Chain A
Amino acid sequence: MSRREGSLEDPQADSSVSLLPHLEAKIRQTHSFARLLTKYAEQLLQEYVQHQGDPFGLPGFSPPRLPVAGLSAPAPGHAGLPAPERLRLDAAALTALPPLLEVVRRHQAELNPRAPRLLRRLEDAARQARALGAAVEAVLAALGTETRGPRPEPAAAAAAAAATGAGVFPAKVLGLRVCGLYREWVSRTEGDLGQLVPSGPA
């Protein structure tokens, strides 16, 4: 018995069992949303580095990848996990991101007060991450998969992120890291949902 990665079918069940239409629609819709946010996340990152000045944004710029409290990048083995577990990790990351994006927005409001588009993109990103996280959790619920137990308080993690790295340069680096994590996780979510989308027209 093999387990196809990304398949939601029970290998022991009849192979003709298909996803319910409403679940299929929900997955397609959430996947489209994730695809859109991946594009926005890329734009946010570009706008962010532009306002921090060189060397931010220069090819080869590689600041120290300091850990961000409460959130890490997708693990190398993420793609090999079962679909429900991947979606749970996606939802958890998307839930942790909004307070961190708010911290970055507050820093940038002081550093770049005359960059309204950047500040708006950060605000939108926090809201959109929250919405995508809720959508992924709805997909998990529709799949009959329980979400994991209590996670670290996002607000507390964000406060820890705000407190560490005193100084403007560390704050710029933190913002770059958070924007980068946001891009990684929405892209990862798009990929994970994409593997669940049934082939053929919607």
Chain B
Amino acid sequence: TAVISPQDPTLLIGSSLQATCSVHGDPSGATAEGLYWTLNGRRLAPELSRVLNASTLALALANLNGSRQQSGDNLVCHARDGSILAGSCLYVGLPPEKPFNISCWSKNMKDLTCRWTPGAQGETFLHTNYSLKYKLRWYGQDNTCEEYHTVGPHSCHIPKDLALFTPYEIWVEATNRLGSARSDVLTLDILDVVTTDPPPDVHVSRVGGLEDQLSVRWVSPPALKDFLFQAKYQIRYRVEDSVDWKVVDDVSNQTSCRLAGLKPGTVYFVQVRCNPFGIYGSKKAGIWSEWSHPTAASTPRSERPGPGGGACEPRGGEPSSGPVRRELKQFLGWLKKHAYCSNLSFRLYDQWRAWMQKSHKTRNQDEGILPSGRRGTTRGPAR
């Protein structure tokens, strides 16, 4: 048998190593003369070794590369016949750099999940342990997060026992065989980083016969329904065979919206998400939830192509958000004041639009049965 010295050393990349293999008690009387070294299974050049004495073979390695595997590089001393006499594992790498870019969020104020970026892209060639620490800013002891890798390799989840209305200090410590590093401290209040579940029960339906509109309805996330907050919502939608989403983001504190300017006879996928900003009076923006599961619906078919768009149209009687409807609202308001047309309303306007589309369809059908080149007469509405 033999002994290698040093046993399991830790070294910086680029450094040198002097090692020895000392044979003792070998019944075959092996001496250092026939011994040789391998590193990770590859025989090392003889000029790197020299015989120190009858029983000791020395090795000199310079400018070491980072370890090939985290369990250590296998430096092995062999007898002349190739049998293994002893081994030692080398750990060659770098100390950790300072972790940075810590970001945290709380789901419904019940927990805290944090993510960070390791320094030097994490490549230290050595196993590096990351520990997320946290404490209340003005009192309390340091705590260590225990549930790691919940949302990626550099993340941790604190599931419970979190205080509100008081700031936390959060940091990450990185440690390996060559040293340690600590991130900057992030200070936050749980209420400033709240997110929630996507809105449930998203329903998308047609608006009567209007071929360029769909109505979207949803329910506010139930987990936060007991807390005072002004939720913001965002809707995104896309045509069935497209990857481009259109986003409607001026949907504030309401649970319905009408999409206008859509293509007729087209299937749309719609998603909704929620931002619980202003919870318990927080001045911060809040964090958007995940998007709800896609809900699909199709607009009615029409001969006439619809205009482009992307705004959230009001339902009957609600204030307009598009330019045409805004102007129409102003006109109707003026009419009511000056022309005593008290029966005018958006509902009546929508009914007129639906009638216009129906009569347009009828006209086109009539034209379809006529010989080509001749146009039918336009018919007005039935009285």
Residues of A within 8 A of B (CB): 51-56, 58, 61-64, 111-114, 166-170, 172-173
Q: CB-nearest residue of chain B relative to A64?
A: B84
Tell me whether B41 and A55 are in contact (CB under 8 A): yes
Chain A residues contacting B121 (CB-CB under 8 Å) are: none
CB A26 to nearest CB in B, in angstroms, measures 41
Show 21 A/B contacts (Cβ-Cβ < 8 Å), sorted by A: A52-B74, A53-B74, A54-B40, A54-B42, A54-B74, A55-B38, A55-B41, A55-B76, A56-B74, A63-B87, A64-B1, A64-B84, A112-B71, A114-B127, A167-B89, A168-B7, A168-B88, A168-B89, A169-B74, A169-B86, A172-B74
Counting chain B CB atoms within 10 Å of each CB, the highest count among A52, A56, A114, A169 belongs to A169
Question: Once the chains bind, are A111 and B70 in contact (CB under 8 Å)?
Answer: yes
Within 8 A of A (CB), among B30-84: 38, 40-42, 68-74, 76, 83-84
Q: Tell me the nearest residue of chain A to B127, going by C-beta.
A: A113
CA distance A58 to B84 in the complex (A): 14
Query: A50 CA to B127 CA in the complex, in Å?
Result: 17
Contacts A52-B71, A169-B86 known; list 16 others, CB within 8 Å. Answer: A53-B40, A53-B72, A54-B41, A54-B42, A54-B74, A55-B38, A56-B74, A63-B84, A64-B1, A111-B72, A113-B70, A167-B8, A167-B87, A168-B71, A169-B76, A170-B87
Quick one: which of B79-136 are within 8 Å of A by CB? 83-84, 86-89, 127
Closest chain A residue, CB of each to CB of B71: A111
In the assembled complex, the Cα of A112 lies from the Cα of B70 at a distance in Å of 6
- Interface residues, chain B, with chain A CB atoms under 8 Å away: 1, 7-8, 38, 40-42, 68-74, 76, 83-84, 86-89, 127
Query: From residue B23, how far is it (CB to closest CB) to chain A in Å?
Result: 14
Nearest neighbor of A50 in chain B, beta-carbon distance: B69
Chain B residues in 8 Å Cβ range of A62: 83-84
How close is A178's CB to chain B, nearest CB, in angstroms? 16
Residue of B nearest to A55 (CB): B41
A52 CA / B73 CA spacing, docked (Å): 9
- Cα A113 to Cα B83 in complex, Å, equals 30
Q: Using a Cβ cutoff of 8 Å, how many contacts connect chains A and B?
A: 66
Nearest first, the 3 closest Cβ-Cβ pairs linking A and B are A169-B87, A54-B41, A55-B41
Which residues of the partner chain B approach A111 to less than 8 Å between Cβ atoms?
70-72
A36 to B41, CA, bound (A): 32
Question: When chains A and B are docked, how far (Å) is the Cα of A62 from the Cα of B87?
Answer: 13
Other-chain contact of A53, B71, B84, B88 (Cβ < 8 Å):
B71
Q: Quick check: A169 and B89 within 8 Å, CB to CB?
A: yes
A169, chain B: closest CB distance, angstroms: 3
Question: Smallest distance from the beta carbon of A198 to chain B beta carbons, Å?
Answer: 46
Q: Which residues of B contact A112 (CB under 8 A)?
A: 70-71
> In the complex, are the beta carbons of B41 and A172 less than 8 A apart?
no
Most buried by B among A113, A167, A170, A172: A167
Chain B: CB-nearest residue to A166: B7
The chain B residue with its CB closest to the CB of A56 is B74
Residues of A within 8 A of B70 (CB): 111-114
Q: B residues within 8 A CB of A170?
A: 87
Taking a contact as CB atoms closer than 8 A, the residue among B41, B68, B83, B88 that contacts A167 in the complex is: B88
**Inter-subunit contact B38/A53 (CB<8 Å):** no
Kindly name the residue among A63, A111, A168, A170 whose own CB sees the greatest number of chain B CB atoms within 10 A.
A168
Instruction: Return A156 CB to nearest CB of chain B, in Å.
Output: 25
> Taking CB as reference atom, which chain B residue is nearest A66?
B1
Residues of A within 8 A of B41 (CB): 53-55, 58, 61
Chain B hits for A51, CB < 8 A: 69, 71
Closest CB in chain A relative to B79 CB, distance in Å: 11
Shortest Cβ distance from residue B240 to the other chain A in the assembled complex, whole angstroms: 40
A64 CB contacts on chain B under 8 angstroms: 1, 83-84
Q: Are A168 and B83 interface neighbours, CB within 8 A?
A: no
Chain B neighbourhood of A173, CB < 8 A: 87
Residues of A close to B69: CB separation below 8 A:
51-53
A residues in contact with B74, CB < 8 Å: 52-56, 169, 172
Kindly provide the distance from the CB of B101 to the nearest chain A CB, expressed in whole angstroms: 21
Do residues B127 and A168 form an inter-chain contact, with CB atoms below 8 A? no
Q: Say how far B67's CB is from chain A's closest CB, in angstroms.
A: 9
Report the minimum CB–CB distance from B66 to chain A (whole Å). 13
Closest to A107 in B: B71
Q: Which residues of A contact B83 (CB under 8 A)?
A: 62, 64
Please measure, in the bound complex, the distance between the C-alpha atom of A114 and the C-alpha atom of B8, giving whole angstroms: 20
Query: Taking CB as reference atom, which chain A residue is nearest B72?
Result: A168
Q: Tell me the bound Cα distance from A63 to B41 in angstroms.
A: 12
Q: Which of A58, A166, A172 sits near B71, CB closer than 8 Å? A: A172
Per the bound structure, the CA–CA distance linking A53 and B90 in Å amounts to 12
How many angstroms between the C-alpha atoms of A169 and B88 in the bound complex? 5
- In chain B, what residue has the closest Cβ to A113? B127
Q: From B38, which residue of chain A is reached at the shortest CB distance?
A: A55
A158 to B223 alpha-carbon distance, docked (Å): 51
Q: How far is the CA of A166 from the CA of B89 in the complex (A)?
A: 12
A64 to B89, CA, bound (A): 17
Q: Across the interface, do B8 and A53 meet the contact criterion of CB distance under 8 Å?
A: no
Closest to B40 in A: A54
